[in-house]
Amino acid sequence: MTIYLPIAEIPVAIFTIFAMGLAVGFISGMFGVGGGFLMTPLLIFTGVPAAVAVASVSAHMAASSFSGALSYLRKGLIDLPLSGFLLAGGLTGTAAGVGAFALLRLWGQVDLVIGVAYVVLLTGVGGLMLVESLRFILRAWGGKKTSVRRPGTHGWFLRLPLKVRFRRSRIYVSVIPILAIGLGIGFLGALLGIGGGFLLVPALIYLLRVPTQMSVGTSLVMTLVTMTAATILHAAFNGTVDAVLALILMLGGTVGAQFGARAGQRLKAEYLRLLLALLVLAVGLRVGYDLARPPADPFAITQRGA
């Protein structure tokens, strides 16, 4: 069964899109990642114009992260003051990222920069997480009593001035690194068209030593606010939000996210980290493979102004 998308101006198979929303929603709920880094390429692959895909996915991510965030909120697994500081940096970073995107488009190399940035970020972050979680799991299997010590470094940046106590996360750190992380995620998110959850969750775990479950919940709040803002801005300035496409994605995504969130809470934290590491690494390698492999057709057509 196909349905015609009024803004994208193409017909799509409704159940394919729904299934994609379901699968990505599951992953998003499980790991607290927005899933944009999976959903957007999938949609483009089915023929949706890139600009419409990015904009409509942000609406889908707003719905899916709201549904996930409510579950975490009920369990007390969201650190609201922490997400407030992250958002202060994040929204500033988003504005800077939108500006950088416009500059790159002027130079005509936006695709390359996005591709390389994806590869570097995803393989880098994924590789680090993989090594860390494997070491942790192997140590546990070895019978050695692992301490309750949280993973990550006790960085000098946590001892900068302006220290604040975040009760929920049981950390007492300077707000400067928090604002910087928010700024960085917001910048990359706007530039790469992603929510940034897959970067924020590890950043919270490894840099700020926030407990895994709390990082997931807190990052959902960040995704929720930035993606809601992105939906409104895309609709107002680019006219690329397809409400019908977004609705199909949402219906699949929110249902998937519910089951994902439940599965995530049942899994042991170290296995959750291992799975996320493998997923992030796989997407990074896939993007890298596409960049390095000789293309099937060296030519491609894009439409100006779309």
Spatial CB neighbours of 297, under 8 Å, sequence gap ≥ 6:
none
Tell me: does residue 148 bind another protein (CB under 8 A). no
176 and 154 Cβ atoms separated by less than 8 Å: no
249 and 60 Cβ atoms separated by less than 8 Å: yes
| Amino acid code (one letter) for 190 | A
Distance CA 75, CA 118 (A): 33
Tell me: does residue 47 bind another protein (CB under 8 A). yes
In the set 188, 258, 281, 284, which binds another protein (CB under 8 A)?
258
Spatial CB neighbours of 152, under 8 Å, sequence gap ≥ 6:
205, 206, 207, 208, 209
Phi, psi of 41 (to 5 degrees): -60, -35
Of 36-44, 56-64, 120-128, 134-142: span binding another protein (CB under 8 A) = 56-64
Comparison of 237 and 271: residue with beta carbon closer to another protein: 237
In the set 50, 232, 267, 275, which binds another protein (CB under 8 A)?
232
For residue 67, the minimal CB distance to another protein (Å) is 4
C-alpha distances (whole Å) from 177 to each of 153, 164, 181, 184, 269 are 13, 11, 6, 10, 24
Tell me: does residue 286 bind another protein (CB under 8 A). no
For residue 21, the minimal CB distance to another protein (Å) is 11
Comparison of 71 and 83: residue with beta carbon closer to another protein: 71
Structure token pair of residue 33? 């990642």
Residue 172, beta-bridge partner list: 165
In the set 54, 171, 235, 272, which binds another protein (CB under 8 A)?
235
6 and 24 Cβ atoms separated by less than 8 Å: no
Tell me: does residue 215 bind another protein (CB under 8 A). no
Tell me: does residue 233 bind another protein (CB under 8 A). yes
Site string for another protein, 89-118 (x = CB under 8 A): -------------------xx-xx--xx--
Spatial CB neighbours of 49, under 8 Å, sequence gap ≥ 6:
8, 10, 240, 303, 306
For residue 7, the minimal CB distance to another protein (Å) is 6
For another protein, the binding residues (CB under 8 A) are: 2-4, 6-7, 9-11, 47, 59-60, 62-67, 70-71, 74, 108-109, 111-112, 115-116, 228, 231-237, 239, 241, 243-244, 246-247, 250-251, 254-255, 257-258, 262, 291-295, 297-305
